[in-house]
Chain A
């Protein structure tokens, strides 16, 4: 397979995959509306609006050692 063919196939496959990922992302956002932690995506806007250091975080880093 020549480099040009490789390039063409690689390009097509990657674009196709990314289109699938992008559309499933859109589908996910607008059907579920909430992420897996149960936080509504729109409430993340409050990260800017309530950003004093003693404001409660929208979703605080939990106690378990998740990084």
Chain B
């Protein structure tokens, strides 16, 4: 029971790291980016390729799994995404679906359609017994890393000048621009960091979530659930939403395997009907 809770928390934390970039994209620029999963996949493949082909140790690949998607994200944001900010949601959806299709086919072409397996270092494998609970070492590692990231993000958002600018821009881009905040700059930076975090999440999750070319499509709905259910006005909303989603998903798959997916989708629809702005969003 507690093991399931623990696994669920690890899963939820992972989902949060994967999805928090999307929360900012949606909240800040009101851009429906369905291609967010592609950045996560990029990070996962960076790690897989580095480890399997060049023998780089797992930990050393993680920074690269952050940097490469971040740079790709920055380039794409500056070139392709930016012209679409003012456009209709339909355009944005079509554009990002197009990107997803391209990413899926390109990775399939370059890497093959099979699952990418990564070999975790020995000190991260196995489980230990803590107070009678079976605790997976790798999952504890994920919880620690993601926990640190969450705290760091929260501190950056609430304590730094950049964070207050970002919050101002999310609340009201027009006024923020009027106050001399360079919203476009802030957005480019956040987009890059969000893509990088997604990449890091993809690398960390390669072991748990699996990694194959259809990754962006498979997990798109999860990212979107985190963001829509959590709301885009704070970082705690998506965080709580991803914890709930992670625990519900793991518990659902464990206790009622035949109903696992129903629970998630039904919950999502119900939440969105009752609270269209998200569970934790302030009413506007």
Genuine A/B complex: no
Binding site for A on B (CB under 8 A): none
Binding site for B on A (CB under 8 A): none
